[in-house]
């Protein structure tokens, strides 16, 4: 059997952190004076009580701070089940008075930074709940960076091993390293969030909305605190949002290097170049289409196009306009852009640029091999040869992702959803993007109208997608639990 104590210990600590952050909404509700603060007091007490008891009970198992491979898998998976569960408590106790289905959907959508919402009338929710939705995404965001930089490379899943630095080889060091990286990253994550909030305020947003949006921008989460999302704000806010969504989707380790005076790694990172180039090309194409479709070649067409392309490709999912009305070309583009994604080591999601780069490098080598059957062609990523292991691993991710979209789509149609809602809902959940297509879950829509089975399927899909598909696939095998 797997010794669950180290897993319980870490989860207990994380629950304590979750409970402590509930002080934010508590203070907000007191400050506004809406009388809603007891919800957060109760929720925080529950979180802290369970967290403290759990970590105390499990403390004995942490001999030397080491985690086995299985414990790491289990920890990674359970974190994305337990934290959403506890994060959903304020939604059940408080103002939205949601049932478990809706509350868990919203909390999972928050922590996985998917950003799909089942709540309507967001602007009428108490300040504390509005803030809590932002905090869930913001915590999820830094959790994702740490997971991508420390845990996934060690677990060698989904091709993340290409980001493994050889200096830290043993699993025993994983927790100290996680703490070290998290604190290094946190400086930039907090710093950029504050900077983003200031820029939003300068662009005309009120301080509270700026704070919430800064948190959901840096986490590429996409929760807004009005139903209109970014449609409610002007051009300046759109440019600020565009800039910080791009910054949030770049690899955070490059910022640490940048602060040490090394600008080169950032500009030479092929992920970054491909990401920026793809955004530029897509924004120009969609902008041109939008211009010919309606506005003419105006600043508005360029801005709307850029904002929404960045929003979808970084996986944020803010909408500044109902792009379902822009004609079939942008609609199809937005669907496929959502399947590209940002850079690994950021808060962005979906397939991610580097996996396409690895797959295309291998296809290139494959074609050269066909030309010269006896030649040896080594596909490379960032100058280093792509190992067979990494390639199989990326391929496994891609196939499971595509087949996963198929399976989830079909399951969703069984609950009665129409085909477009089902397919784009499956894709947006597994890719953690947020909006789908069609009138129901499109940029102007909302997930509130879906039936309960569909919400549960999507909740599970968001979790599986955030765990890069394969972590879950490993944990659910019988072999994992044996021997």
Shortest spacing between CB 230 and its own copies, in angstroms? 23
Please tell me whether residue 208 binds its own copies under the rule CB under 8 A.
no
Please tell me whether residue 445 binds K ion under the rule CB under 5 A.
no
Hunting for tokens 């970084």 — which residue is that?
A: 314
Residue 110 is assigned to a ligand binding site: no
Maximal CA-CA distance, the chain:
76
Please tell me whether residue 287 binds K ion under the rule CB under 5 A.
no
Q: DSSP for 412-452, please give it.
A: HHHTT--HHHHHHHHHHHHTT----SHHHHSTT--GGGS-H
Q: DSSP for 65-114, please give it.
A: G---HHHHHHHHHHHHHHHHHHHTHHHHHSTT---HHHHHHHHHHHHTT-
Site mask for K ion (CB under 5 A), range 95-134, x = bound: --------------------x-------------------
| Residue 381: strand pairing partners | 384
The interface region with its own copies, picked from 99-107, 217-225, 254-262, 412-420 by CB under 8 A, is 412-420
- By beta-carbon proximity to K ion, the closer residue of 55 and 347 is 347
Partner touching 317 among K ion, its own copies, none, CB below 5 to 8 Å by kind: K ion
Residue 316 is assigned to a ligand binding site: yes
Shortest spacing between CB 220 and K ion, in angstroms? 6
Shortest spacing between CB 410 and its own copies, in angstroms? 5
Shortest spacing between CB 400 and its own copies, in angstroms? 7
Residue 113 is assigned to a ligand binding site: yes
Segment 344 to 403, residues that bind its own copies, using CB under 8 A: 359-360, 362-363, 365-371, 373, 388-389, 391-393, 395-396, 398-400, 402
Please tell me whether residue 417 binds its own copies under the rule CB under 8 A.
yes
357 in Cβ contact with 381 (< 8 Å): yes
Shortest spacing between CB 351 and K ion, in angstroms? 14
Site mask for its own copies (CB under 8 A), range 262-291, x = bound: ---------------------------x--
331 phi, psi to nearest 5 deg: -60, -50
Please tell me whether residue 98 binds its own copies under the rule CB under 8 A.
no
The single-letter DSSP state of residue 473 is H
Please state, in angstroms and rounded to a whole number, the distance separating the CA atoms of residues 64 and 49.
Answer: 25
Q: Which of 235, 247, 242 lies closest to 205 in space, CA to CA?
A: 235
- By beta-carbon proximity to its own copies, the closer residue of 12 and 436 is 436
Q: Which of 326, 344, 346, 345 lies closest to 335 in space, CA to CA?
A: 326
What count of other Cβ atoms lies within 10 Å of the Cβ of residue 419?
12
- By beta-carbon proximity to K ion, the closer residue of 238 and 466 is 466
Q: How far is CA 432 from CA 16, 83, 140, 352, in A?
A: 26, 17, 12, 11
Residue 471 is assigned to a ligand binding site: no
- By beta-carbon proximity to its own copies, the closer residue of 237 and 431 is 431
The interface region with its own copies, picked from 20-28, 31-39, 52-60, 149-157 by CB under 8 A, is 149-157
Among 51, 128, 241, 315, contact with K ion (rule: CB under 5 A): 315
Handedness of CA 181, 182, 183, 188 (dihedral sign): positive
- By beta-carbon proximity to its own copies, the closer residue of 235 and 453 is 453
* 385, containing H or E segment: strand 384-385
The interface region with K ion, picked from 151-159, 381-389, 429-437, 448-456 by CB under 5 A, is 429-437
Please state, in angstroms and rounded to a whole number, the distance separating the CA atoms of residues 312 and 395.
Answer: 23
Please state, in angstroms and rounded to a whole number, the distance separating the CA atoms of residues 135 and 143.
Answer: 12
Shortest spacing between CB 162 and its own copies, in angstroms? 15
Q: Which of 294, 274, 196 lies closest to 239 in space, CA to CA?
A: 196
Please tell me whether residue 6 binds K ion under the rule CB under 5 A.
no
Partner touching 315 among its own copies, K ion, none, CB below 5 to 8 Å by kind: K ion
Please tell me whether residue 330 binds K ion under the rule CB under 5 A.
no
* 10, containing H or E segment: helix 5-21
What count of other Cβ atoms lies within 10 Å of the Cβ of residue 171?
16
453 HSE (CA, 13 A, CB side): 11
Residue 114 is assigned to a ligand binding site: yes
- Chain residues in the site for K ion (CB under 5 A): 115, 222, 315, 317, 434
- Chain residues in the site for its own copies (CB under 8 A): 69, 155-157, 289, 327-329, 331-333, 335-336, 339, 359-360, 362-363, 365-371, 373, 388-389, 391-393, 395-396, 398-400, 402, 406, 409-410, 413-414, 416-420, 422-423, 437, 470, 473-474, 477, 479-480
């Amino acid at each position: 059997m797997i010794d669950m104590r180290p897993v319980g210990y870490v989860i207990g600590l994380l629950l304590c952190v979750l409970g402590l952050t509930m002080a934010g909404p508590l203070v907000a509700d007191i400050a506004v004076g809406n009388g809603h603060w007891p919800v957060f007091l109760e929720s925080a007490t529950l979180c802290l009580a369970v967290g403290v008891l759990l970590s105390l009970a499990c403390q004995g198992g942490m001999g030397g701070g080491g985690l086995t491979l299985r414990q790491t898998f289990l920890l990674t998976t359970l974190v994305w089940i337990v934290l959403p569960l506890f994060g959903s408590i304020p939604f059940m106790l408080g103002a939205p008075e949601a049932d478990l289905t809706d509350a868990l959907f919203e909390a999972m959508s928050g922590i996985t930074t998917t950003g799909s919402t089942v709540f309507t009338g967001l602007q009428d929710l108490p300040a504390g709940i509005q803030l809590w939705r932002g905090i869930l995404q913001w915590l999820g965001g830094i959790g994702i960076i740490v997971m991508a930089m420390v845990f996934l490379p060690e677990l060698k899943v989904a091709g993340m091993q290409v980001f493994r630095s050889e200096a830290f080889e043993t699993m025993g060091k994983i927790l100290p390293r996680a703490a070290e990286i998290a604190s290094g990253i946190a400086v930039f994550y907090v710093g950029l969030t504050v900077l983003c909030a200031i820029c939003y305020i300068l662009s005309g947003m009120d301080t509270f909305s700026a704070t919430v949006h800064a948190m959901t921008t840096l986490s590429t989460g996409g929760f807004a605190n009005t139903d209109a999302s970014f449609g409610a704000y002007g051009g300046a806010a759109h440019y600020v949002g565009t800039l910080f969504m791009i910054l949030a989707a770049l690899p955070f380790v490059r910022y640490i290097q940048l602060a040490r005076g090394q600008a080169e790694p950032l500009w030479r990172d092929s992920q970054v170049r491909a990401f920026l180039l793809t955004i530029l090309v897509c924004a120009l194409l969609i902008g041109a289409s939008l211009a010919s479709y309606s506005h003419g070649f105006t600043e508005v067409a360029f801005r709307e196009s850029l904002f929404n392309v960045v929003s979808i490709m970084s996986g944020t999912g803010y909408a500044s306009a109902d792009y379902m009305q822009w004609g079939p070309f942008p609609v199809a583009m937005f669907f496929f852009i959502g399947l590209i994604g940002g850079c690994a080591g950021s808060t962005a999601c979906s397939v991610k640029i580097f996996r396409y780069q690895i797959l295309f490098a291998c296809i290139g080598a494959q074609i050269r091999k066909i030309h010269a059957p006896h030649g040896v062609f080594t596909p490379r990523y960032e100058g280093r040869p792509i190992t067979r292991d990494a390639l199989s691993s990326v391929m496994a991710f891609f196939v499971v992702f595509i087949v996963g979209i198929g399976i989830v789509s079909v399951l969703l149609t069984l609950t009665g959803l129409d085909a477009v809602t089902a397919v784009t809902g499956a894709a947006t959940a597994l890719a953690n993007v947020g909006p789908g297509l069609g009138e129901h879950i499109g940029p102007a829509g909302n997930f509130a109208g879906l039936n309960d089975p569909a919400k549960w399927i999507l909740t599970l899909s968001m979790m599986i997608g955030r765990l890069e598909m394969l972590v879950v696939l490993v944990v659910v095998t019988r072999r994992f639990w044996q021997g």
